[in-house]
């Protein structure tokens, strides 16, 4: 995970998270507290719905604190506080709690969502040009909002100072907004309610010179987050995750393709010794090597022996512990299967390239896939499809028989799978 969204209801959290998916992030929404039982690291953007919109302020504050502590434990400090575009809920209490736990002294709050004709001007919230207090939202049975002037409304929900950033200042541009926020911040922790009528106003707000300011918490509707993403001013559009290449075939042509990818610095080589895969210390060393390559931004080439003589020697050693020689190819394939499945569970990949029919079968079974939905041919002898079934349903996969493929097939396959990954998520 690299980004977290804290929302106060499920539909609003979904509305915001989907924008991140549109721009290529893998995004998930979980509910508090049951979602905390899941393993972390399964997505890049995690939206947490506190479901506290109709709660009392104290309860909403405590839940926001627990969520913030959870994110700190997972090393996530890039936070977006999703608020309702009609300002329903315990916004002041929740924002104050997040600021306190995360030690963020300044919050910039703007519920404007121009595409839904929800705007803030003169500090007041308008719905399709009508003051909020004069709309049906003022009679909301669960969470009525009877005041349109947001600084007053917010002051009743927080013990922090509340300031207002006028539309006139916003329209003066980034430097004026940055200067105003700097002045507000010099007086101590506070929340700043900003006017904004158009998407251009929102872009000015999210484009502030943050290196001149203390840490700041952006709080807005899905409207603000969409502008952040389209402008790349706060959340940089993601690169595609790495590709995992699993080489099971001993055909010498594979070594040529591996060397080409390694020489081009696009992939790192990870050798699996089938003789030692039951050795916990050996597995730890290999996993550490993989982690290091991933931190360097490398794609991974996973393989066993590529020299026929080495493979034969390994078989002789393995035979001493097996009853039948026919078990040996399966033993080697299972070594790749088990470790590949482990990597695919622990890390996000754009897709996989697998050489050798037996290896492809074992890898597919290792990730509980039932088959492959064929889509097209990347190049002659290298069909592309997506995994059918299992937890990685839809994962892109290129299969390759031993002797097929050009010298740059692995390099081209990596680019191909990453391009597919981003296109499928709206990132291209």
C-alpha to C-alpha distance for 413 and 352, rounded to whole angstroms: 9
Q: Mean pLDDT, to the nearest integer, of 114-132?
A: 96
- Of 355, 353, 366, 275, nearest in space to 317 by CA: 275
Peptide bond into 33 cis (omega under 30): yes
* 204-237 residue pLDDT tens: 999 999 889 999 999 999 999 989 887 766 766 6
Query: What is the β-pairing status of strands 216-220 and 267-271?
Result: unpaired
Best-predicted range by mean pLDDT (314-318, 322-326, 384-388): 384-388
Domain boundaries, the chain: 3-231, 243-424
Q: What pLDDT band is residue 139 in, cutting at 50, 70 and 90?
A: confident
* 252-311 residue pLDDT tens: 788 899 999 999 888 999 998 877 767 788 888 888 999 999 988 899 999 886 555 555
Residue 93, Cβ density class (10 Å: 0-12 exposed, 13-18 middle, ≥19 buried): buried
pLDDT score at 375: 94
* 42-91 residue pLDDT tens: 678 899 999 999 999 999 999 999 999 999 988 888 899 999 999 999 99
| Domain 3-231 of CATH type 3.40.50.12780 | no
pLDDT score at 311: 52
Enter the pTM of the model.
0.62
User: What architecture is the 243-424 domain classified under in CATH?
Assistant: 3-Layer(aba) Sandwich (3.40)
3-231 and 243-424 in the same fold: no
C-alpha to C-alpha distance for 345 and 90, rounded to whole angstroms: 38
pLDDT score at 160: 97
Report the mean per-residue pLDDT for the chain.
Answer: 87
C-alpha to C-alpha distance for 118 and 12, rounded to whole angstroms: 15
Q: Mean pLDDT, to the nearest integer, of 241-259?
A: 87
Q: Is the pLDDT of residue 323 over 70?
A: no
Number of separate helices (H) and strands (E) present in the chain:
14, 18
């Amino acid at each position: 995970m690299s980004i977290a969204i804290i929302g106060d209801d499920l539909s609003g959290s979904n509305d915001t998270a989907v924008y991140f998916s549109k721009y290529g992030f893998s995004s998930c929404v979980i509910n508090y507290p049951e979602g905390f039982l899941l393993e972390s690291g399964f997505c890049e953007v995690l939206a947490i719905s506190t479901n506290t919109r109709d709660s009392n302020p104290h309860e909403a504050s405590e839940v926001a604190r627990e969520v913030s502590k959870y994110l700190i434990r997972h090393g996530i400090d890039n936070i977006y506080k999703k608020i309702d575009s009609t300002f329903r809920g315990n916004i002041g209490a929740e924002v104050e709690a997040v600021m306190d736990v995360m030690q963020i002294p300044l919050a910039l709050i703007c519920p404007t969502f121009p595409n839904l004709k929800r705007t803030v001007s003169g500090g007041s919230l308008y719905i399709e040009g009508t003051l909020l207090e004069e709309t049906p939202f003022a009679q909301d049975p669960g969470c009525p909002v009877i005041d349109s002037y947001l600084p007053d409304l917010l002051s009743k929900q927080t013990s922090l100072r509340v300031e207002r950033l006028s539309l006139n200042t916003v329209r003066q541009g980034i430097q004026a907004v940055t200067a105003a926020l700097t002045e507000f911040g010099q007086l101590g922790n506070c929340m700043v309610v900003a006017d904004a009528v158009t998407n251009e106003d929102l872009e000015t707000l999210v484009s502030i010179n943050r290196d001149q300011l203390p840490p700041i918490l952006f709080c807005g509707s899905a409207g603000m987050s969409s502008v952040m993403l389209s402008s790349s001013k706060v959340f940089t559009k993601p690169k595609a995750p790495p590709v995992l290449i699993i080489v099971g075939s001993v055909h010498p042509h594979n070594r040529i393709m591996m060397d080409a990818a390694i020489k081009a610095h696009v992939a790192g080589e990870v050798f699996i010794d089938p003789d030692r895969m039951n050795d916990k210390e050996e597995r730890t060393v290999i996993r550490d090597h993989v982690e290091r390559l991933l931190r360097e931004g490398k794609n991974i080439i996973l393989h066993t022996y590529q020299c026929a003589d080495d493979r034969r020697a390994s078989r002789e050693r393995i035979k001493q512990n097996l009853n039948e020689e026919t078990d040996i190819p399966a033993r080697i394939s299972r070594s790749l299967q088990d470790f590949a499945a482990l990597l695919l569970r622990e890390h996000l990949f754009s897709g996989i390239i697998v050489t050798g029919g037996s290896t492809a079968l074992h890898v597919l079974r290792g990730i509980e896939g039932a088959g492959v939905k064929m889509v097209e041919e990347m190049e002659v002898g290298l069909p592309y499809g997506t995994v059918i079934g299992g937890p990685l349903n839809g994962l892109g996969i290129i299969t390759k028989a031993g002797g097929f493929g050009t010298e740059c097939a692995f390099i081209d396959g990596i680019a191909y799978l990453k391009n597919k990954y981003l296109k499928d998520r709206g990132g291209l």
